[in-house]
Chain A
Amino acid sequence: MNTIKCSMNHVKNLIIILSLITVPSFAAVINIKPSSSEVMIGSRFSVDILVEELGVNEMIGAFDLNLQYDPSILQFQEYRLTNNLGSISDNCALDLSAGLTKEGIVNISSVSLLDNFNNQPNTLKIADIVFNAVHEGTSTLGLFNVTVGNYFGDEICTVIQNNSVQAVPEPSSMALFGMGIFGFGGVLLIRKKQKTGKVDLHK
């Protein structure tokens, strides 16, 4: 389900007659994109946080968001910020993420210190979060308390597209299980034939 967050009214006070820059009325899409919708239990996978459909001339200058997941199914491993807001190691951006704030909630946050965002694409990945699937089931991946700021630190309206991921057993386990079932079925069939005399396996 999409949730619309639009706490700022960008153009209501378009009072700056002197303005050469106008803030468009639009909503960027925050998309949660797991590397696969189905992951094997015990495997490590990542969830990309993407910002899509940025308006013309709009750029991301800061974000702060919380990802909620089912900790009985997934286990948080780490988060990785991209350089789209500037390199953290070069002091061109700040990593203000809190990480795992409590079971089932991961906070990631960054603020750019750049003066020039010429390279920012219209759709950009701002971070990914790495999980382990630990138990079978489906975990919703939902964002809440999302704040996204533009170059000027003004809040951008966002449409959030939540997602989910299904943890399933590993393929090898499935095969053994299948073989076991198949073998068990075969034994049952032989015993039944022996009783009816229709099958002589030792002939």
Chain B
Amino acid sequence: MAKQRYLKIFCCCTAAMVTLTSHISAEPWKFGIMGDTQWKSNTDGENPNTVAVGIIKQINKEFITNNVKFVVQVGDLVDKYSSSAFDTRAEAADELLNAGIGFFPLRGNHESNLDAANYLSFAFPQINGNVNVFGATNFQSPSSVSGCLSYSFDYNNARIVMLDQFTRKDNSGLNANNNIVDQQDWINATLSGRNDGTHAFVFSHKNLIGQNHADMLFGSNPASNADAQNSFFKSLYSNGVRYCIGGHDHIHHRSIVFSPDNSFYVNQIICASNSYKFYTPLIPTNDARYNTPQRELPVEQELYTVGYYIVTVDGPKVCVDYYSSLNGCSSSWESTVDCDLKSTPRLSFVKRETFGYSLNGKKFIVKPGEELTVVTDTCKIANSQKTQVAIISGTNMTSNTLYDGRTTVQDINTGWETRSDIDISAGVESDLLTLWGMRDVIGSKKCDTYVLSMSYDTSISGPLSIYSKDSVGNWNKTVNSNNGFNVSHFVIGPYREQFGLGTYGIDPATHTVWAVVDHDGDFAIIKSTDGDQDGDNDIDNDDIQIVASLKNKPASVRPSADLDNDGKITILDVRKLSLIRTVK
């Protein structure tokens, strides 16, 4: 079986080499992440050798459709280790390999023994970087740690670091609790040794703080090996690692985890189940049981679903789409149910949430009830418009309450692209802002209502508005993407508290445009025809005369003439309109 695999892999080498020479580009690229794939008994014939092949194949299709470059699995490849079980798992990845997609697995506690350690690279020779790498390069492993199965590789502008904490090939490291400690130097070197402006993603099977399992990457509970954890967190934080991704819990869970000494943090992603099995979070939480003070801020969670992740790397930006399907034991997202699957469910995946970050942006943690106005940032990219953004009003009012009773925080991230990198032909007049992490509840695009303000260059005149791209790539006024009841109204002047969702405006006094919105995503300033009264797509004296002729009339006679949105048309509206004339 393994020999056949080598032949198949060999045939793919040519394609891989072609990919190797072409993979470093400025184009966005994707990789996939999948969770644990163990299966219990093969009652439906789809899941041999304790491998959830039925689910794997359905997820493979998703990865192929999404055109990912490779897939990472975070361990527990099988339920009961045997070489044939590993072969089964490897065969289940053939669809990916045949599509030119790499597959890079980690071991989990279900394949933690010596035999598994020694057979892993037979079943998955790509982890050594010799074959079937499909553009992945620079494979490294901690050579100073004998028999260790951790490895790293590069793809385009990212480094993938896979941490194995189980029994090593030389039968050392029998205690999984301490196996990261002697890898720390290698972790440091691997993370710090990459090029500037590149990403690093760290994967392990066990978590930093599990939601069900107390055992974790550094020991039997989240308080274990505190000094080693401090070193690990420091290394990740100092080297710009945003995501530490694990499995083990079969729960889609995102959180911000702080080091035991509270000096550093990293975002933890626990992958949803790809297995027959689902876990329920403990109450009280492992964080509460073992950590004083507690170290975890939950961001989002979904229980009892089958899910996968598509990570899009676009230059400095990383965007993660989480897709999941009901597990077949429930019929609604609002009441997902725990069960042990006896047969493979027919999965119907839905994008449940999107999150991300950018190397050129900022991160803000906003707890429930706190003001969103902490969010401010400036595009500092060379040759950019130096666009400034600020949330000028809004509160984190709506938070998700998790199964364990904790309320989620908003993990808000900003990112930038320069105007020249985006669609100038559409009339874009600013750098493009991406805002992640504003959404309230998983499965909904709705955010708390907030007011976004963006600056524009003082040399620009005429009406401007904030636009967002819709799902098919067309620019639309950002207020048109609002989720809640929306009364669109254009204002010239500053935002005022009484303005409701859908109000948007330009403030010539501060050279800013603003909009009252309840969604996140991409934002840019684009020239508009707001204020045009006679429909000829300009703002001239004819438009001013129309507004002037309605002096001291109620706004209801012509809402678009009430340019300060105070309910009546006055000389102030006339003056305001004169400020954004396009024809003088």
Contact = CB atoms under 8 A, between A and B. Distances in A.
Given A94-B574, A109-B551, A152-B576, A15 B373 contact: yes
A113 interface: yes
B414 interface: no
Interface string A13-53: 10111111101000000000000000000000000000000
B509 A155 contact: no
Given A109-B551, A113-B544, A152-B579, A13 B493 contact: no
Interface centre among A12, A62, A110 (most CB of B within 10 A): A62
Interface centre among B455, B578, B584 (most CB of A within 10 A): B578
B510 A96 contact: no
A16 B492 CA distance: 14
A110 B551 CA distance: 11
Contacts, number: 104
- The number of chain B residues touching the other chain, given as a range, is 35 or more
B493 A154 contact: yes
Interface in A40-71: 61-64
Contact of B572 (A15, A16, A62, A94): A62
B392 A15 contact: yes
B576 A13 contact: no
A153 B453 contact: no
A113 B26 CA distance: 48
A153 B392 contact: no
A157 interface: no
A49 B578 CA distance: 24
A122 interface: no
A91 interface: yes
B548 interface: yes
Nearest to A61: B575
A111 B392 CA distance: 30
A113 B510 contact: no
Q: Is the interface of B mostly helix, strand, loop or mixed?
A: mixed
B507 interface: yes
A169 B578 CA distance: 48
A1 to B, nearest CB: 25
Contacts of B579: 152-153
Contacts of B508: 152
- The number of chain A residues touching the other chain, given as a range, is 20 to 34
A153 B496 contact: no
Contacts of A63: 571
B565 to A, nearest CB: 12
Contacts of A61: 575
B390 interface: yes
Contacts of A17: 376, 388, 390, 392, 453
Interface string A130-150: 000000000000000001010
Nearest to B387: A18
A96 B495 contact: no
B523 to A, nearest CB: 15
Interface centre among B453, B544, B575 (most CB of A within 10 A): B575
B541 interface: yes
Contact of A153 (B393, B492, B510, B548): B492
B578 A147 contact: no
B495 A111 contact: no
B551 A96 contact: yes
Interface string B44-85: 000000000000000000000000000000000000000000
B504 to A, nearest CB: 15
Contacts of A152: 493, 507-509, 575-576, 579
Interface of A: 12-13, 15-21, 23, 61-64, 91, 94, 96, 109-113, 115, 147, 149, 152-155
18 contacts: A15-B393, A16-B507, A16-B510, A17-B390, A18-B453, A18-B455, A18-B510, A19-B510, A23-B509, A64-B570, A64-B571, A111-B571, A111-B574, A112-B578, A149-B572, A153-B564, A153-B573, A154-B509
